Every structure is written in C-alpha cells, then in structure tokens.
Amino acid sequence: MGIPSVQVMMFKELAERTKPPRTLHVRFPFGRPFGEPGNQDAHRVILQDALRMLETASSPGAIVSAPYLWRREDYASILKERAAVKVGAEHRLR
C-alpha cells in the first residue's frame, strides 16, 4: 500500500496520458498551480480541493477540473461559504 497523493497541475492532457493517482486540474498559468503568489486564500482553497480528492476520488487516475479562473475569483468568500457549511453540518450532528 502506497502513500495517497494528489497532483495539482495545469496540463490536463499530460495527466490523461501519464495517469497519476489523482489530479486536480487548474486553469492557471504554468508555474502557479495554487494561484497568485501571496494569495493565501487561493492557496488554501486549492489545497482544500486537492485534499478533498483524497476522500472522494473513486478510481485510480481520477482527474477533477477546478472551476476557478485566474484572477477572477473571490477566494475569501469561497472560504467563508465553506466554513458556514461546515458549521451547519456540525450543528446537525449534535
């Protein structure tokens, strides 16, 4: 048994050919798989998405395309929405 991994990459066609265990495809410029330098909210969102793939990918070679567009997203809002959903789910469990 190996170590579960997720590759974050911009070149989807390469992932389709090489078939890494899991790939999060982002439509960002090469060299910027987690977004703009210094944009911690973007980095966190992409990292959360990659980690979520560890839980949800059902088959080897899974490729998920992230919906984000370069410099067009409000990542702070995305994080707030996710936090609200998480808090709501925790209250339902009680």
Position 25 in a domain: yes
Provide the whole-model pTM. 0.87
Number of domains composing the chain: 1
AA identity, residue 62: A
Q: Residue 91: what pLDDT?
A: 58
Q: Residue 86: what pLDDT?
A: 79
Stretches in the chain below the pLDDT threshold 70: 1, 89-94
Q: Residue 43: what pLDDT?
A: 97
- Containing structural domain, residue 46: 7-93
Q: In whole angstroms, what is the distance from residue 31 CA to residue 13 CA?
A: 16
Position 2 in a domain: no
Position 12 in a domain: yes
